[in-house]
Chains A and B, each alone.
Chain A
Amino acid sequence: MEHEPRTRALLTTLKRVAGAFKADGVPFALSGGFAAFARGAPPSRHDVDFAVLPEDAERALEVLAKAGLTPADTVEDWLVKAHDGDVLVDLIHSPSDLPVTRAMLDRATPLKVDSVHVPVLDATDLLVMRLRAFTEHECDFAGPLVTARALREQVDWEQVRVRVRGSPYALAFLVLLGGLDVISREESGMPHEAPQYAAGHLQQTLAEDPRTAEQGIRVRVVGEDVYLSGEVSCPRRRLKVVEVAEETMAGYRVHDELSVVRMDGPIREERLP
């Protein structure tokens, strides 16, 4: 595959670093933009990121120095850096205050990157790391959006939602993904309409939708469950009411507790004196 010169330079560095780590037995996984690239996203134009264990960071840097890279000074306490010519290599060990763990590296999958096999961070870990990195000053969604679209089927979004819970920026990004239908509403954690309003709106819909035109349906919404009760005039209309309710309340479980009006009671005469 032909890449532009910048990408080619980055890939050369990537292979050099991976080769050095493999040779010296440093546990690592490809992270950042090139991990996304390995999993199907467009190639990154920036630096090359690797995840390493916090206790291995210094040793990893020495291994890279031995392989001809130049360790760089960093003020950050969550990564170390090295230069390979004008390409910057980030060795990330504690992204967003969450140390890289051995379990995370074990979850990495060996994938072919430009003809060599490199362990690549699990897609869920990758997204969690990316989303947790959003801050007040770094919350441009454009890049991560491309990554999310490319990796959507490989990611356990439910787990992402749980693991980014502490970050309002990450949660906002998930709502965006839900709104764009990149992921489902449930996966995005987008809050359902407040139940009392949802019930009110459904009740009005059941009255106004020409398929139902039912005014006497009682609607109760409890959590993810919608309960319908009341009487309808025939069995077919009962199905219609459930159909409209399910359509209106996507993502909820609709419970049919309706009954059909009976008109088979015995006729009796009342005498009004």
Chain B
Amino acid sequence: MITVAAVGDVHLDEEMRGRYRERLGRLADDADVLLLAGDLTKHGTVEEGRVVAEEFRGLPVPVVAVLGNHDYQSDAQDKIAETMRAEGITVLEGDAVALDCAGGRLGVAGVKGFGMGFSGKCASEFGEPEMKSFVRHSRDAAERLREAFKSLDTELTVALTHYSPVKDTLVGEPPEIYPFLGSYLLAEAVDTAGAHLAVHGHAHKGTECGLTPGGVRVRNVALPVLGRPYGVYRIQD
């Protein structure tokens, strides 16, 4: 049995420095690991990346993150990831990490993911090069999530993405923008891997709880959805 804390879309910048960290005092009692589901910065600048790194460094539990679209806004995503890694935070992008927790080993496979839409109402790799590249980026992300899961041999696994694998957790957002909020290929990868939980962010007006077609719990942990510092989920095999 392992307990996972997760939050996304904290959107930190200089003005927010310290304001999130002051809510993390009980983290060690609450969870074995903290997952960050992307959109950690506001504009994706190196400076904001530093605020993120300092806000989440030296915590009593391992911190594993993926980046979100905001973190790509200034083309500094690599530098942000590097800054966070330098402070001991694991940043995943199409790879996985296995953590030794008190209740066993936990595997986390992470990727930013992308939009594209959901089964029957989604874009295809057809037409203009921009459209093809949009869909290809989404397919690549899902493929990398699959590969990341394959590298894990832990009993318990969690998928960590920024974009949503399902529509369930988007309820509250205008349906017209669903194709920009996630992709069903992510859910397919989660189901193929038989993960125990999938957490994501991105959809601020969405809903916390959902399920993949294969029955895996999905949790939208975007901070505005949670209204609390982080969600806490206890999982067991």
Contact = CB atoms under 8 A, between A and B. Distances in A.
Interface residues of A, number: 23
Interface stretch (B55-63, B134-142, B226-234): B226-234
Interface residues of B, number: 32
Given A213-B43, A216-B205, A231-B224, A267 B229 contact: yes
A55 interface: no
A269 B30 contact: yes
A262 B228 CA distance: 7
Nearest to A261: B224
A223 interface: no
B226 A263 contact: yes
A234 to B, nearest CB: 6
Contacts, number: 68
Contacts of B121: none
B197 interface: yes
A interface SS class: loop
A263 B233 contact: no
Interface string B11-48: 10001100110010010001000000000001100000
Given A231-B224, A234-B16, A265-B228, A272 B30 contact: no
Contact of B3 (A216, A265, A269): A269
A164 B155 CA distance: 80
B223 interface: yes
Contacts of A273: 236
A59 to B, nearest CB: 72
Interface of B: 3, 10-11, 15-16, 19-20, 23, 26, 30, 42-43, 70, 73, 196-197, 204-205, 217, 223-224, 226-236
7 closest residue pairs by CB, A with B? A265-B228, A265-B227, A269-B232, A261-B224, A216-B204, A271-B234, A233-B11
9 contacts: A233-B16, A234-B15, A264-B23, A267-B26, A267-B228, A267-B230, A270-B233, A271-B234, A272-B235
